[in-house]
Structure 1
Amino acid sequence: MFDTVLVANRGEIAVRVMRAATELGADTVAVYSEADKHGGHVQYADEAYNVGPARAADSYLDQEAIIEAARRAGADAIHPGYGFLAENASFAERVEETEGITWVGPSSASMRDLGEKTKARQIMSAADVPIVPGTTEPVSEAEEVEAFAAEHGYPIAIKAEGGGGGRGMKIVESADGIADKLDSAIREGEAYFDNPSVYVERFLEAPKHIEVQIIADQAGNVRHLGERDCSLQRRQQKIIEEGPSPVLDDDLRERIGAAARRGVREASYENAGTVEFLVEDGEFYFLEVNTRIQVEHTVTEEITGIDIVKWQLRVAAGEELAFEQDDVEVDGHAFEFRINAENAAKEFAPASGGTLATYDPPGGIGVRIDDALRQGDELVTDYDSMIAKLVVSGEDREEAIARSKRALAEFDVEGITTVIPFHRLMLTDERFVAGTHTTNYLDEEFDTERIQAAQERWGHEPAEAGETAETIEREFTVEVDGKRFEVDLEERGAAEFAVQSGGQASPPKPAGGENEDTGVAAADGEVITADMQGTILSVDVEEGAEVQAGDVLCVLEAMKMENDVVASRGGTVSQVLVEPDQSVDMGDTLLVID
């Protein structure tokens, strides 16, 4: 087993991996950005190293900085968690080539093969795994997409080869949208996965999303650990997962599990991974392979009793799997609820900041919390919005639902808005309780007024600005040769710091600027502001341009997704206050239309 494991990630997944490593007798090393210097994963680790500023590209995605931190810490293994560099084959290869450090994950060769969706489809087809009709080679021209649509019909999906979880995927309903959607998918693929290649496949409109957890060792042993149902999604992003699926019969379950094993064996795959399928009308089709641990791995752990992260470390260290396929038993039922700092009543808009004034998670039998935040912590909004995962298990699905209702009612969070009211609502929803919901249920069928009512009934409003305690506690981070140390200082009667975000409303301000002398001439015009914190990917209009209602003004990347900012009325663009690659906060003025 390894002596020291560096976790190249942050938040709850970093803590999750560190706990597994600690139980196996290894020391743990955290890396952190400037935004995360007080993060829970930093507090948990035995050692912590600063790898750069808040921008992920300059810290958590800085491959050399992470490898250098591992060298300095004397780490003999790097676990990537999920997200960031977890599915980056180039980073995996750099770690593999670094003497004395082991990559905890599949080989870089397998990651490349299965990370490129067209190659993955070829591998699965060779293993006799059903695939959705689509191209097996990348496409680059709108004419190629049009030809595919002419043969298979609409809707179709344009997908980034390196994408996943809805990132880099664009749904096309007609020929009119092909060119723009193709360009957008290429942009997302290049921006997030450093791979501009895209492919096309027929889009299944109302499938169930079923995924199979697998683990494979270096000796060629492959096991699957049952399936999870991840069909409750908004904008292709999972929000509640469960296992086993409530809709699979024993025959279909056995066929899907066997197909997952055949597919990863064909790819000579090692370590943990997930094979995802779409199920519709009793048939299943390969979707993609996630070559990493997944957010929802906890569901499988609760119903099988198998610690997947420990087995990741053991397999990477050369151990063989200690159980046969027939030894894997699914016992009971489990749900995972992603506790995101989002307002479900406002189209799941992420919080722009705030402090966890109250953070009191539930407990009791069958309740598990994976998190890295504590009461009093400031919300970090530079990355994703998930602050915790609530995992609830029971003897059967009925008990798991009842227990989940109890646990969510106990979960007390104040200071920031979360999706807890939405989760409580879903546990009373007939379609969800029956297990018949599909991937398009929330986006296309659900009555959004019910979400608003749930938010009003069970939600907490963020605290008003200016509410501070009499005693001010300040934490200072001191770095000596890049290694982190902390100094705590308590002051009584100290002046408050100015509120920068998340407080009372202020006049519209240009992105990145001050409120006074802004030059924003709203007058009778429409001030277009950012609905969420993010980064401007493109500006599609110039000052003086004439626009119509519905025209795209700019594209804002937030929460790993592109969001078109559109005009709500026609007029003339009088001011453009942003530019590509610029970071903006919620409420920042982007453009003005007269």
Structure 2
Amino acid sequence: MFDKVLVANRGEIAVRVMRACRELGIDTVAVYSEADRNAGHVRYADEAYNVGPARAADSYLDHEAVIDAAKKADADAIHPGYGFLAENAEFAGKVEETEGVQWIGPSADSMEQLGEKTHARKTMQEADVPIVPGTTDPVEDPEEVTEFGDEHGYPIAIKAEGGGGGRGMKVVRGPEEADDQLESAKREGEAYFDNDNVYLERYLENPRHIEVQIIADHHGNVRHLGERDCSLQRRHQKVVEEGPSPALSDELRERIAEAARRGADAAGYRNAGTFEFLVEEEDREDGELLGPDANFYFLEVNTRIQVEHTVTEELTDIDIVKWQIRVAAGEAFDFDQDDVDLEGHAIEFRINAENAADDFSPATGGELTTYDPPGGIGVRVDDALRQGDDLVTDYDSMVAKLIVHASDREECIARSRRALAEYDIEGIPTIIPFHRLMLDDERFVAGKHTTKYLDHHLDNQRLVDAQEKWGTETESTGDDEEVVEQEFTVEVNGKRFEVNLEQRGAAAIPAGGSGSGSGGGQKPQPAGGSDDGGESVVEGEGEQITAEMQGTILDVKVEEGDEISSGDVVCVLEAMKMENDVVASRGGTVTQVAIGEGDSVDMGDTLVLVD
């Protein structure tokens, strides 16, 4: 067994992995960006190393920085969690080549074969697993998109090979959208997964999202741990997951599980992974299930642990993360497939820092002035933040996960109502009101919701009413005395120590150097920074188009002197791993562009001036 594991991630999943390590008697190492210097996963770890600035590409996605941290800490294994580098075959290969460091996950070759979607589709075709009509080679030209649309019809999904969870996926509803959506999908794929290859699929209009948890050791043993239903999504992002699926008959359930097993066998898969499928929903009476003849299609393989692995753990009483570590250490399973029993029903609720009533817009900052999670029988909370912590908005919006387990779905829903009512968070908005609404939603309770339900069928006024009824305070009520804090971080023999100097009612302490963090009030920097290290200065008069949230500029659509109209897109801002178009509220002439591609901006920063 390993002595020390570096967790190449942040937030609740980093703490989740560290807890498994601690129970196995393994020391843990955290990595953190400047934005996460006070994060919960840093506090929990035995050691912690700074791997760069807030921008993920310069820290959590920096291959060499993460591997160097493992070497400095003398870690003998790296666990990637999910997201960031978890499905990056190049990074996995580098870890495999690093002497004395073991990769906790499937091999780089398996990740190459299954993690990149075009390779996975080819493998599934050979294993006689049904796939959605689409391409098996990367698409480069918009004409390929329109030709596919002419043959298979619209809409079309353009998907990044390394993507998942809706990131790197764009929907083309007509030939006129092919150029822009192809460019956007490739850009997201490059930004988040270091891979701008994309492929095409027929876009199913009314599917359920079903996935099968697989785990395999290096001794020829493959186990499936049942399925999860992840159909409640907004903008292709899962918000509620449950198991078993409330829509599948036992016969259909077995067909899908068998397809997953065939796929895993064909790929020679090892460690934990998830085979995802789309199941076409049908008109059903109340209580009627989808029969064995229902259409289902392979979607993708997630070559990693997933956010919703907790649902399966509650149903099977199998610690998947521990088995990831044990498999990587060479251990064989001590249970057979017949030993895997799914007991009762489990639901996971993602507690995101978002306002569901405002199109699930992410919080732009705040402090957890109150944080009191629920407890009691059948209630589990996976988190990393604690009361008094500031919300870090540079990455995803998830604060925690609430997992509820009970003897059946009816009791699980009742227990979930109780647990969500107990969950007390103030200082930031969360989607707890949305979750409470869903537990009284007729379609969700009946198990008839699909992946399109939230985006196309749910009345937004119900979300507004839920937010008013169950929403919490989002502003701190502390005193107004200015507190200036200067933090120093030092490492001695691999151990992280922090020294804080705090002054109240005093002028700000000057901070030297350009790497002192992401202080508020700074103007956006030119792409790559200015030659003299100075700030970009906004000059002139006119309408200021400002950033509504903290993020990174992915694309600038205008130049000085351009004539624009109300509603025109001036730039694309990435925040919370989603692309957001920034539009002009009125027409005019662009007199200054204060940002460039790759710049990090804070909420309120001026992006463009229009006269």
Answer yes or no: is 1:104 the counterpart of 2:104: yes
Matches of 1:586 and 1:300, distance apart in 2: 39
Report the CA distance shift for 1:228/1:469 in structure 2 as closer, same or farther (over 3 A): farther
Answer yes or no: is 1:575 the counterpart of 2:595: no
- Quote the residue 1:383 is aligned against: 395
Answer yes or no: is 1:64 the counterpart of 2:81: no
Aligned 8 A contact 1:213 1:272 in 2: yes
SS in 1 for 2:315: helix
Aligned counterpart in structure 1 of residue 326 of structure 2, from 272, 295, 314: 314
Answer yes or no: is 1:542 the counterpart of 2:559: yes
Unaligned runs of 5+ in 1: 499-507
Written as runs of structure 1 = structure 2, the 5 A alignment for 1:399-548 is 399-464=411-476, 467=479, 476-480=488-492, 483-487=495-499, 495=506, 511=524, 518-519=538-539, 521-522=541-542, 525=543, 527-548=544-565
SS in 2 for 1:586: coil
Matches of 1:472 and 1:576, distance apart in 2: 33
Amino acid of the structure 1 residue aligned with 2:238? K
Matches of 1:137 and 1:206, distance apart in 2: 26
Matches of 1:297 and 1:516, distance apart in 2: 45
Displacement of 1:440 in angstroms is 1.2
Give TM-score scaled by structure 1 length: 0.93
SS in 1 for 2:187: helix
- Quote the residue 1:229 is aligned against: 229
Displacement of 1:589 in angstroms is 2.9
Displacement of 1:519 in angstroms is 3.7
Aligned 8 A contact 1:349 1:532 in 2: no
Further displaced range: 573-582 or 257-266? 573-582
- Quote the residue 1:257 is aligned against: 257
Report the CA distance shift for 1:539/1:456 in structure 2 as closer, same or farther (over 3 A): same
- Quote the residue 2:151 is aligned against: 151
- Quote the residue 1:192 is aligned against: 192
Deviation sequence 1:267-286 (CA, Å, 0-9, x none): 11100001111010421100
Aligned 8 A contact 1:78 1:104 in 2: yes
Matches of 1:515 and 1:266, distance apart in 2: 55
Aligned counterpart in structure 2 of residue 366 of structure 1, from 355, 378, 383: 378
Displacement of 1:573 in angstroms is 2.9
Matches of 2:596 and 2:536, distance apart in 1: 21
- Quote the residue 1:589 is aligned against: 606
Matches of 1:587 and 1:438, distance apart in 2: 37
Deviation sequence 1:101-127 (CA, Å, 0-9, x none): 110000000001112211100100111
Report the CA distance shift for 1:263/1:22 in structure 2 as closer, same or farther (over 3 A): same
Matches of 2:253 and 2:498, distance apart in 1: 51
SS in 1 for 2:144: helix
Aligned counterpart in structure 2 of residue 301 of structure 1, from 309, 313, 318: 313
Written as runs of structure 1 = structure 2, the 5 A alignment for 1:123-138 is 123-138=123-138
Further displaced range: 348-357 or 569-578? 569-578
Deviation sequence 1:5-55 (CA, Å, 0-9, x none): 111111111111111111111111111222222211111111222222222
Deviation sequence 1:100-153 (CA, Å, 0-9, x none): 111000000000111221110010011111000001111111111111111111
SS in 1 for 2:241: strand
Displacement of 1:173 in angstroms is 0.6
Aligned 8 A contact 2:523 2:536 in 1: no
Displacement of 1:546 in angstroms is 2.2
Aligned 8 A contact 1:212 1:260 in 2: yes
Report the CA distance shift for 1:283/1:364 in structure 2 as closer, same or farther (over 3 A): same
Amino acid of the structure 1 residue aligned with 2:60? Y
Aligned 8 A contact 2:40 2:384 in 1: yes
- Quote the residue 1:551 is aligned against: 568
Matches of 2:591 and 2:456, distance apart in 1: 35
- Quote the residue 1:166 is aligned against: 166
Displacement of 1:71 in angstroms is 1.8
Report the CA distance shift for 1:449/1:521 in structure 2 as closer, same or farther (over 3 A): farther
Deviation sequence 1:73-111 (CA, Å, 0-9, x none): 221111111111111111111111111111000000000
SS in 2 for 1:363: coil
Displacement of 1:296 in angstroms is 0.7
Matches of 1:209 and 1:259, distance apart in 2: 15
Matches of 1:293 and 1:528, distance apart in 2: 40
SS in 1 for 2:134: coil
Displacement of 1:511 in angstroms is 4.3
- Quote the residue 1:356 is aligned against: 368
- Quote the residue 2:268 is aligned against: 268
Amino acid of the structure 1 residue aligned with 2:418? R
SS in 1 for 2:444: helix
Aligned 8 A contact 1:510 1:520 in 2: no
Displacement of 1:156 in angstroms is 0.7
Further displaced range: 389-398 or 576-585? 576-585
Report the CA distance shift for 1:280/1:395 in structure 2 as closer, same or farther (over 3 A): same
Displacement of 1:510 in angstroms is 5.9
Report the CA distance shift for 1:540/1:517 in structure 2 as closer, same or farther (over 3 A): closer
SS in 2 for 1:421: helix
Matches of 1:468 and 1:24, distance apart in 2: 46
- Quote the residue 1:328 is aligned against: 340
Aligned 8 A contact 1:349 1:531 in 2: no
RMSD over aligned Cα atoms: 2.4
SS in 2 for 1:321: coil
- Quote the residue 2:239 is aligned against: 239
Report the CA distance shift for 1:338/1:484 in structure 2 as closer, same or farther (over 3 A): same
Amino acid of the structure 1 residue aligned with 2:386? R
Matches of 2:125 and 2:407, distance apart in 1: 37
Amino acid of the structure 2 residue aligned with 1:560? K
SS in 2 for 1:377: coil
- Quote the residue 2:287 is aligned against: none
Aligned 8 A contact 2:538 2:606 in 1: no
Deviation sequence 1:378-397 (CA, Å, 0-9, x none): 11112111111111111111
Aligned 8 A contact 1:220 1:265 in 2: no
Matches of 2:194 and 2:253, distance apart in 1: 35
Aligned 8 A contact 2:157 2:200 in 1: yes
SS in 2 for 1:110: helix
SS in 2 for 1:195: coil
Report the CA distance shift for 1:336/1:520 in structure 2 as closer, same or farther (over 3 A): farther
- Quote the residue 1:505 is aligned against: none
Amino acid of the structure 1 residue aligned with 2:42? V
Matches of 2:559 and 2:50, distance apart in 1: 40
Give TM-score scaled by structure 2 length: 0.90
